[in-house]
Structure formats: structure tokens, C-alpha cells
Amino acid sequence: MHPNKAFRQGDDAALIAWASRIGFAHLLIATVDGLMVAHAPIVQTGPTALSFHVARANRVHPHLDGARMIASVAGAEGYVSPNWYADGANQVPTWNYVAVELEGTVHALDEDGLVAQLDALAAAHEPRVLPDNPWTRDKMDETRFRAMLRAIAGFDLRVEQVRGTTKLSQNKPAGDRARVIAGLEQSGHAALADAMRRVGE
């Protein structure tokens, strides 16, 4: 994560909760077959625990149980032009972003744990996308559900280290921050501009 302490925001609990709200992670592990990355939905299952699932056909699947892993979760991000600063001629291009790394040990879930992970995933996100008609497992044919279940594997990540970066121009004067916010909005990065406003409050 970024070494500048100005970009460290939030305690571990808040960062884990934020990562779970984003709901999607890049999973990085070192294996005997080399470095591997998987991409998976995540849900928080305890104060320092997350669960996720991957396809059994994913090449990372056989390496996960018992492995050390980093789950990298990214939020709003975008390019920052030197032209947005008052003294742009003496600045360099950079990137503003929000990200969290969650490091720990992975353990396989049994079938009940995998089903619970899928139910929790739907419960967390269905109300956001389809509040009037959320998907629940009872809508699905049980035979079909069990067949699909056999194609995926669930895991639990027990988080032991949390590292977060909220790089939102906190090291710049207020005037430059305002110009960066305006530039981000004009370039289609409204979510990042909003994040900058919130961190400045």
C-alpha cells in the first residue's frame, strides 16, 4: 500500500466492512506452480473473516485450502492531470484511488458453508439491484441448484493483516483539491470526486 501516512484512513474493522460492501476482490497467492490471481465475490462472515467461492475448474482452486492469501479490493479510482493544479507546470501525473489489502489464511468450506456464502452474497446485493423482486434460493429448482453447486468451491479467509490506502490528494492545498474534484467530475469520475469531498469533511 502507499507509504504516505496521509493516505491511511480508517481502522481495521471499518476497512474490512468497506471491502465487504464493495463485494469483489482480486485474490493473490503464491503456489508451487507460480503466482496466481483469482477474482471472486466476497462477503463478511465475522469481524475478521470473509468468505468467497471460485469455480472448481479455476487453476487456483487446488492451491487454496491452507494457503496464505491477499485479497485486494479496489474502490473509486482515476487519473489526476497536472493541469488541474494551480502550478501544473511543476507537477507530475498521478492516480487517486481507494484500496484495501486483506491478508490471511484460507480454509475450505463444506457444502453448508458454501450454500451460506451464496445466500449471504444474494442477501447483501439483491436489495441494491432488485429491491422489489430480490433473488433467493427458494426460487430455484433444487436439483438444478445442487448441480451448479458442484461446479464451485467455497472458502473462508481469516484476516490477520489489514492495509488500506485512501489516496485522495490529502497532501495538496485546498485549492488544488477543489480543482482536482472539478477535473474528475468533468472527466466522468463522479464517484472519485465524491470520495474526495467526503475525506475532506
* Domain assignment present for 193: no
More confident call, 200 vs 135: 135
With bands split at pLDDT 50, 70 and 90, how would you rate the model's confidence at 200? low
Say which DSSP state 133 is in: S
pLDDT > 80? residue 10? no
* Domain assignment present for 196: no
* Domain assignment present for 111: yes
Which among 20, 43, 15 is positioned nearest to 122, based on CA atoms? 43
Residues in CB range of 81: below 8 A, 6 or more apart = 88, 93, 183
* Domain assignment present for 198: no
Percent of the chain scoring above 70 in pLDDT = 99
* Domain assignment present for 41: yes
- The mean per-residue pLDDT over the stretch 68-86 comes to 96
Domain housing 162: 5-77+94-170
For the chain, the domain total comes to: 1
pLDDT digits (tens, 9 = 90+) for 40-55: 999 999 999 999 999 9
* Domain assignment present for 42: yes
* Domain assignment present for 25: yes
* Domain assignment present for 68: yes
With bands split at pLDDT 50, 70 and 90, how would you rate the model's confidence at 201? low
Q: Could you tell me the CATH number of the domain that includes residue 68? A: 2.30.110.10
Reported pTM: 0.90
**pLDDT of res. 6:** 81
